[in-house]
Amino acid sequence: MRALIQRVNQASVTIDGEVVGAIGRGFLVFLGVGEADGEAQAEKLWSKIFKMRIFPDDAGHATGWALSEVDGNVLVVSQFTLYADCKKGNRPSFTKAGDPAEAERLYEYFCDIARRDLPHLQTGSFGADMQVDLQNDGPFSIWLDTAEL
């Protein structure tokens, strides 16, 4: 499972002109599910994201506080393109992305476990054509892959 986490001041997802998810300060998480992923990867990834200390603290440390310490929000957006393979030619291959039905199940599972810690978690819509608007804070972006955690 892969995630691109962006620390944001605000972010939103729009589908067909309607905002379906929006947050203030927190994380925008682009989430990709791979062909070999399962619930264990979702648990591991959320645990890492939730505890990640990438907010400035009162002592001046650029990376001192976690989501819970800043009352942060999270917006999760599915993004199979995180599994793009660009080794051959100029058109990306997505053969390492998870089967769509299983990927959707694991995306929903990831969101469900995240809601244990953040009851007001916001999401996009799996498989939809979405427009994502964000104000990156920093900018601060982190790439996580459960194969490397």
Known catalytic membership, residue 79 = yes
- Beta carbons of 13 and 19 less than 8 angstroms apart: yes
Of 81, 94, 131, 135, which is the active-site residue?
81
Burial track 8-36 (b if 16+ CB lie within 10 A, e otherwise): bebbbbeeeeeebbebebbbbbbbbbbee
Of 30, 80, 110, 126, which is the active-site residue?
80
What does the block give as tokens for 116? Answer: 């244990």
Known catalytic membership, residue 95 = no
Longest dimension (CA), the chain: 49
Of 79, 122, 123, 146, which is the active-site residue?
79
Gap between the Cα atoms of 86 and 106, Å rounded: 25
Known catalytic membership, residue 131 = no
What does the block give as tokens for 128? Answer: 């939809």
Active site amino acids: 79-81
